[in-house]
Structure 1
Amino acid sequence: MSIAERTVDTTAEPPVSTAAAPPAGRWGKILGWLFVVVLLVGIALTAMRFVATAPPLDGTLNPDVSNPYGAQALAEVLRQQGVTVDVVRTRDELYNRLRDDTTLVMTDPYPLSDDSVVSLLNDSERTVFLSVSSRLLRLTALGEPSQTQVDTAEVGCEIEYLSRVGEIAPERLFTPSAGTTGCFTAPDGSAAVLVDSSLERVTLVEGTRLFSNAQLAENGNAALALGLLGQTGHVLWYVPNIDDGDHTADDADTLGSLTPDWVTPALVLLAIAGLTAIAWRGRRFGPLVAESLPVTVRASETMHGRARLTAKAADAGHAATEIRTGTVLRLARRLGLSSRATAQEVADAAADRLRVPRGSLYELLAGPLPQNDPDLIALARGLADLEAAVETTARTERNDQ
């Protein structure tokens, strides 16, 4: 059987090349990526906004800061009451200006070590902490954290300079230890202000919100601040910073120190194996090849390609359908029938030509499809024999004429 060749008409107008046209869905991908970028930028701006509005550590209850979290208003109120307020930022300056009639005021001095904090407490006649941490509770031994919460609290203690303070809305409450006076108490005995009962040398209060510029004028906050800080004519307000600190922490555990020794070599080996697999099995795309249009495509290329695909899929039924279709077309042309003739019509015409009963060729041309390779081979041989018989009959008739 000869194989026909299919040739594209070279006289026709060449089609327009689509090599430079954008692929389908390209604009959709561009818009999708643009949406992702806009979303990430929006998230970043939102995060920056929250960071920008967070209270700075060095501005929390800082007497020189006028933002809502600072304590400049409290410092000015003390000065109006005749109290000298000096702000110091280093321990050297603090020790040089510390006197017996001085109240040392500070928030939790997180940059300082425990020994430095204890040294300050020993050298100061009167110390007021405006914020409280677990470390300060441990170092001063004035109390323990309490889970109790109340909306408002009254004095509840017999300290004279606090007796005229009205209600406050405490931020945190603490359980006073033995030898500690608790003021502004809750029904269970928890207190917002802890004062050393013996000499009243150390006072603890969580006043980050109470004494801030934003809320100093609310409830009895200002009166409480004046009572705690105005008992001496001089306030030495210590604002510690990182440079003045001497707190040294142990080196934190890193991911490398926590993982076993064999993990790193295993990860390196897996990475090498992955790169090797990519280089071995990865698809290699060469440069684009420009091909002039129109081109001539051989029919055998398509036929062989489809045959290989059918063989690889082991689809006997599909192969049988293709063989029958080709046989029916060739028999119809040989028997003078239309190219649209059905398999039954071709079977009847072939039976008449071969002088066999009609219906005897139906199963061969239009019967059930084979399900395995042996049946497919048998069907192909039967169709080839049928075509040979019809061709022989046609030649005999021509010779007789």
Structure 2
Amino acid sequence: MSAPVSVPASKDMASQDTAGAREFRAGDGTARQRAATWWRKNRLWIAVGAALAAVTVGGLAASLLGGQSADPLSITNPAPSGGQAAASVLREQGVQVTATDSLDATRRALAAGGPGGSTVLVYDPLSLLEPAQAARLAASAKDAAAAVVALAPGPLTVKNLGPDIASAGTAAATDSSTGVAAGPGCANRDAAAAARIDVRGVDGIGAAGSPSLLLYRGAATCFAPAGGTAGFMAVNRAGDVTVLGSPGVISNERLASQGNAALTFRLLGSRPHLIWYTASLRDVPAASHAPTLAELTPRWIFPASAWLLLVALIGMLWRGRRHGPLVTEPLPVIVKASETVTGRARLYQDAKAQDTAVETLQRATLTRLAQRLRLGTGAAPSAVVDAAAAHTGRPREDLEALLITDIPLNDKQMLAMAAQMAALEEEVAPR
């Protein structure tokens, strides 16, 4: 026999230590080590999130601190549809530019205007101004000896700003396909200095095509399309009200095109003060009280309702059922037996109750057979079947099935059984 091999104790302890070192234990390491491990795993996503947050906060801060706006033709909007370029150039030339967003603020600015007079730029893209408000603005500008420049005003606004200026519709697409209007075609010095203007639409200011380009007629009608009598610019007799049918002329995108800059700066920079008025929801008058149901109801609803009611009444009288006088009949009413039988048969037919109808026929046939065979009305069905079988010589089983047990499945079988019962009665007591 070979002697057992003994393993040194030191090797056993080393193997146990190695196994213990390879065993995973949750929560190993200090808090600092766990934090370092978590940071190595998530630092990329943390950096991306921090960058996005910084960009968002920076953009918001720049917008708020810089006072930038996204509104069309705003003096703080640097986008192509804004008006910051024109306002900045005018300020560099010494013109005081004040932005207002309500009629009341504009009238206060007019009343507080300094020496040299003011110019009011009126832009109402949503057509919020009512005719009465346009008339008040014109009166305030006249009292302050201010000039008015209106951008694409509506027909009623034009009529109240300058009575001798009228709207003449919109320009066709072919009229502005090149983006350059014809020569001034009028004696106005500002139009003559511009010579030619770019009237193309700008994205963000109405539509980018001709539907946003309006035409006018006035004491001086300028920049008329080829073959037309109305132009993109019109001036009243006094020369203090000017309407411009293309708002994009003063936009950042079109200001440097053709003679737009010359026309813009001559119209808006002729006086030391410029009030840049953009109509807003503040110009919508607030209701003094909540509207009632009668105020919200259209005026035509009451006449229409009365007319419909009258038509309905006439239709009821015309097509309504007319009841005649009551017919008296002595009681009790006598009904023929045949009518009762027919009525019950129709009820059974409508209910498809073949079994009930056949049971009624079987009981009636058994009763009549018992009477004809002199068994009495109280005889049992089996006794009647026995007597009928003896009298006719038919098999008892057939008569029992016919008079007691058989139930038809359809109308055809029921009619056949009724005919067989009638034939049996004829055979028992021939008439």
TM-score (norm. length: structure 2)? 0.45
Q: Which one scores higher on RCO, CA 8 angstroms, separation ≥ 6?
A: 1
More helix by share: 2
TM-score (norm. length: structure 1)? 0.48
